[in-house]
Amino acid sequence: MKRLFGVALGVAACTGCGVRLDEPAPAPEREPEAPIAAACRPFQGTGVVRLGGRLDSVALGDGTRLFIAGSARIQDGSGARELQNAGFIAPDVAPDPSSGCFGDATLLDHPVLASDALVSAFAAVRIGEQPVVYFARYEPVAGDPFPQRVGIGVARWDSQALRFVPSQNLLWTGDRPSFGGGAVVDGGEVFAYGCLPGEFLSHDCYVARAPAESVDDEAAYGYYSGGGQFDESLENAFSIFEAGDPTSVAHVPGKDRFLAAYVPPLGSAVWVRSGLGAAGPFSGARAALGCELPEDAFGGDAVVHEIAGELYVTYGIGSFTPGAGDADPLGYWTRLTRLKVPAELP
């Protein structure tokens, strides 16, 4: 485990002690022995030409489920449109890979904040009857083609406007762990998972928790500090495992266990860990399934979904080749497939 120390200009980590069931994680570059599972391309046949990046979901409570896509290229009567944080509402039922997954979904333009907001949706959870989503806000940097993350916040779902409305203040600054990259509600509390770059092709991941009703109150969060304890100061946080960023966590249906899932940086498989609780201790990592990838492509943005009493995982596909997604939209389409927990996990 590693302890997190925050400073004004960055974040540093050092070795510390803690309690977990984890043996050393396998080297990220190791080729996993995991079968490639049959996957579907969500929302194919709804005017979507390409769905890219992260795909998260949350039940709306009326028999439907809201999906938030990292990006989507839509072909309609007005021509092709590129959407960031595109939303889809579909029946809250198990997906059918033989029919394009969710063929009857309804498109929502920019359900995460406003259409002109420079944000990226993180994990969505349902607190009581209300869905909430963590999000990262970015600002452009002069001379840099990539915007800089300035902070992470929470937004609550407005069922009338069909849009998430942000809380007044951001919860964490952009140099902190990516809290909200994964999130789960358990026992009246919300647990938010976030990671920072650690060793080569790996991240050190941390967990924060707050009462569910105070999810948008920065002062309500405590940070896992080892030995089953949480500290009010982020400076005393200990990492709970090494993984990829983002790391998604979900309750395992029918079991008193939690499953963390991720794709290592530039990886080709979804890895999982089993936790005895939402904050662990977590097991060692196991390769659960191989990603369906074009040549010279890599997986990422793994998200676990509990739908109709079963676990599913979505993952995005990336490449360093410019225009690869435009030349092969189906090959680079975000995938969704059923996720089986490896039998050897506790």
- Please say whether the beta carbons of 236 and 221 come within 8 A: no
> Token pair of 89, please?
């509402």
Residue 246 burial class via C-beta count within 10 angstroms: exposed 0-12, middle 13-18, buried 19 and up: buried
pLDDT, one tens digit per residue, over 12-24 is 333 333 334 445 4
270 Cβ contact partners less than 8 Å away, ≥ 6 residues apart: 34, 261, 262, 263, 287, 288, 289, 290, 291, 299, 302, 313, 315, 339
Confidence of residue 28 (pLDDT cuts 50, 70, 90): very low
The CA distance from 177 to 252, in Å, is 25
Confidence of residue 193 (pLDDT cuts 50, 70, 90): very high
Domain-wise residue ranges, the chain: 31-338
The CA distance from 102 to 342, in Å, is 26
CA atoms within 13 A on the CB side of 116: 0
Q: How far apart are the first and last CA of the chain?
A: 20
What class has domain 31-338? Answer: mainly beta
Of 15-24, 181-190, 197-206, the range with the lowest mean pLDDT is 15-24
